[in-house]
């Protein structure tokens, strides 16, 4: 994968100049072709900004498609790869003493930066905002106190 950044000598303009395990532009190009074909749109240029603009504009429709999980997984892979290459991966911190409300494991973590205050490493659906995380911590603290002082 070509790195788009200050060190890049030129911008990436097509899918053929990619190297490495994740063909960044080819993945975007494939999803753009699917959107263009299924929606009967005029094909767009194979250029990063144009492809991102198309996918972003049709995101609400994409979310209603049966293949949205595949789309999300491939885009997530691109984000992870970019974060690894640019060393901008979110920092993960284990939230000690807090149990997941679904699997009851001590597997709650916080990513910095992240839109959520806490996530479970086991249960992908458990993502808590600051308010719900605080309620969970308070509830588990109350339960622990009752266990000690019934
Ligand atoms: Zn869990």
Centroid of ligand 1 to alpha carbon of 86 (angstroms): 30
Centroid of ligand 1 to alpha carbon of 126 (angstroms): 6
DSSP state of 126: -
Asked whether residue 26 is assigned to any structural domain, the reply reads yes
- Residue 71 and residue 127 share a domain: no
Query: What's the pLDDT at 114?
Result: 86
- CA 115 to chain centroid: 11
Domain boundary among 86, 103, 136: 86
Centroid of ligand 1 to alpha carbon of 94 (angstroms): 13
Asked whether residue 104 is assigned to any structural domain, the reply reads yes
Query: What's the pLDDT at 21?
Result: 58
Centroid of ligand 1 to alpha carbon of 95 (angstroms): 13
Centroid of ligand 1 to alpha carbon of 123 (angstroms): 4
Centroid of ligand 1 to alpha carbon of 119 (angstroms): 8
Residues of the chain with pLDDT under 70: 1-22, 149-150
Centroid of ligand 1 to alpha carbon of 128 (angstroms): 11
DSSP state of 43: P
- Residue 33 and residue 55 share a domain: yes
Name the pTM for this structure: 0.57
Domain boundary among 39, 55, 86: 86
Centroid of ligand 1 to alpha carbon of 124 (angstroms): 8
Centroid of ligand 1 to alpha carbon of 89 (angstroms): 22
Residue range(s) defining the domain that contains residue 114 = 91-148
- Residue 114 and residue 81 share a domain: no
The whole-angstrom separation of Cα 114 and Cα 133 is 14
Instruction: List, for residues 61-95, the tens digit of each pLDDT value.
Output: 999 999 999 999 999 999 888 888 888 888 899 99
- Residue 107 and residue 71 share a domain: no
Query: What's the pLDDT at 83?
Result: 86
Query: What's the pLDDT at 6?
Result: 44
- Residue 95 and residue 76 share a domain: no
How distant, in Å, are the alpha carbons of 17, 22, 43, 61, 127 from that of 78?
16, 7, 23, 21, 21
């Amino acid at each position: 994968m070509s790195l788009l950044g200050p060190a890049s000598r030129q911008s990436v303009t097509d899918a053929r100049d990619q190297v490495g395990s994740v063909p960044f532009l080819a993945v975007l190009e494939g999803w753009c072709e699917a959107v263009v074909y299924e929606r009967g749109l005029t094909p767009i240029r194979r250029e990063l900004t144009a492809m991102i603009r198309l996918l972003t504009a049709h995101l609400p429709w994409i979310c209603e498609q049966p293949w949205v999980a595949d789309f999300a997984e491939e885009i997530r892979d691109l984000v992870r790869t970019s974060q690894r290459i640019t060393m901008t991966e979110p920092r993960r911190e284990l939230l000690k003493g807090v149990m997941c409300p679904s699997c009851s494991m001590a597997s709650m973590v916080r990513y910095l930066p992240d839109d959520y205050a806490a996530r479970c490493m086991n249960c992908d659906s458990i993502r808590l905002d600051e308010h719900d995380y605080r309620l969970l911590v308070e509830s588990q603290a109350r339960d622990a106190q009752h266990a000690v002082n019934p």
